[in-house]
């Protein structure tokens, strides 16, 4: 069965997220490690971590994704803002060591007029500071839409970061379908070429997770506005055919569509049904 799930609120802890996921037929999920405003994390509850690990294994749960606060900016021109990103990400990685099978995804950041090169330098400094060879958690760079001065709009920009990261064996990529479409990669008409290019530039072995979102905007719009599956410019057919690709269907696939829990439940069941049909058609 495909590892499919959605973004959930972390307010009630890990076990509660695991139970919520199972209740909507999800076998993966994503959550924010802390409140993006104020950056405060809840007190780490080891009992909850252990209860979750046990529950998740019993229910055959797949890899899950922790998302760093999207308001962090590791490549800000302001040293204080950069230091905050180091501090928080170090602390997040330490906390995540208590959870089995979790990836840690983050947005590379916005260089804000400093240019991609200086921005990339700062991101590399961050990764070389926080990634330790003994850590179990893989850190993921998210592909970005290229809104404003976001770094990570092209596969080459991510490759440049990976190339200069010392322990790059702990570094991978999370592909967001809305972001790459807004970034100009045509997964509607040219998914084969897009994924070939991903493989050539970054390498498919670096791809650990997928954010599955439709987009409110057109190809190359650089906007980053997620839409419900099938209600946007990418469309249901293209998204279903994308996740039925051999290199994608084995990964954890996370919905970040504008939804409540019942809405996510419906999208998951619709996607599971559509994928089964796809498999039957190709059999």
Residues forming contacts to Fe ion in the complex (CB under 5 A) are: 142, 176, 211
Residue pair 201/155 in contact (Cβ under 8 Å)? The answer is: yes
Q: Hey, CA dihedral for 97, 161, 251, 88, is it positive or negative?
A: positive
Backbone angles phi, psi at 35, to 5 degrees: -65, 125
CB burial readout 179-200, b (16+ within 10 A) else e: bbbbbebebbeebeebbeebee
Calpha distance 49→64 (Å, rounded): 13
Nearer to Zn ion, 147 or 167 (CB): 147
CB of 237 to Zn ion, least distance (A): 22
CA triple 63-66-72, angle to 5 deg: 155
CB of 195 to Fe ion, least distance (A): 18
Nearer to Fe ion, 104 or 122 (CB): 104
Question: Which partner in Fe ion, Zn ion, none is near 224 (CB below 5 to 8 A by kind)?
Answer: Zn ion
CB of 256 to Zn ion, least distance (A): 7
224 binds Zn ion (CB under 5 A): yes
Nearer to Zn ion, 34 or 211 (CB): 211
Calpha distance 42→17 (Å, rounded): 15
CB of 271 to Zn ion, least distance (A): 19
Which residue sits closest to Zn ion, CB atoms considered? 224
Nearer to Zn ion, 48 or 224 (CB): 224
Calpha distance 173→199 (Å, rounded): 12
Question: Which partner in Fe ion, Zn ion, none is near 216 (CB below 5 to 8 A by kind)?
Answer: none
Nearer to Zn ion, 15 or 219 (CB): 219
Q: Where along the sequence are the contacts to Zn ion (CB under 5 A)?
A: 224
């Amino acid at each position: 069965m495909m590892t499919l799930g959605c973004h959930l609120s972390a307010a009630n802890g890990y076990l509660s997220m695991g139970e919520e996921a199972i209740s909507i037929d999800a076998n993966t999920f994503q959550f924010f490690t802390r409140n993006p405003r104020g950056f405060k994390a809840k007190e780490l509850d080891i009992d909850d971590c252990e209860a979750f690990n046990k529950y998740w294994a019993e229910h055959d749960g797949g890899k899950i994704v922790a998302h760093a606060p999207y308001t962090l900016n590791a490549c800000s021109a302001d040293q204080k803002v950069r230091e905050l990103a180091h501090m928080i990400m170090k602390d997040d990685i330490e906390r995540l060591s208590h959870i089995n099978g979790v990836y840690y995804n983050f947005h590379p950041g916005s260089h804000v007029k400093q240019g991609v090169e200086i921005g990339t330098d700062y991101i590399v400094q961050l990764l070389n500071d926080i990634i330790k060879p003994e850590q179990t958690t893989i850190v993921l760079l998210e592909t970005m839409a290229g809104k404003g001065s976001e770094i990570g709009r092209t596969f080459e920009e991510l490759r440049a970061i990976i190339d200069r990261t010392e322990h790059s064996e702990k570094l991978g990529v999370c592909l967001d379908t809305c972001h790459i479409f807004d970034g100009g990669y045509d997964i509607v008409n040219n998914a084969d070429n897009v994924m070939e290019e991903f493989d050539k530039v970054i390498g498919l072995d670096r791809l650990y997770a997928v954010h599955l979102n439709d987009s409110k905007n057109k190809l190359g719009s650089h906007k980053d506005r997620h839409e419900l599956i099938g209600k946007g410019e990418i469309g249901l057919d293209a998204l279903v055919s994308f996740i039925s690709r051999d290199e994608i269907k084995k990964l954890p696939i996370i919905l970040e569509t504008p939804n409540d829990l019942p809405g996510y439940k419906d999208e998951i069941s619709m996607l599971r049904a559509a994928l089964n049909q796809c498999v039957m058609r190709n059999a």
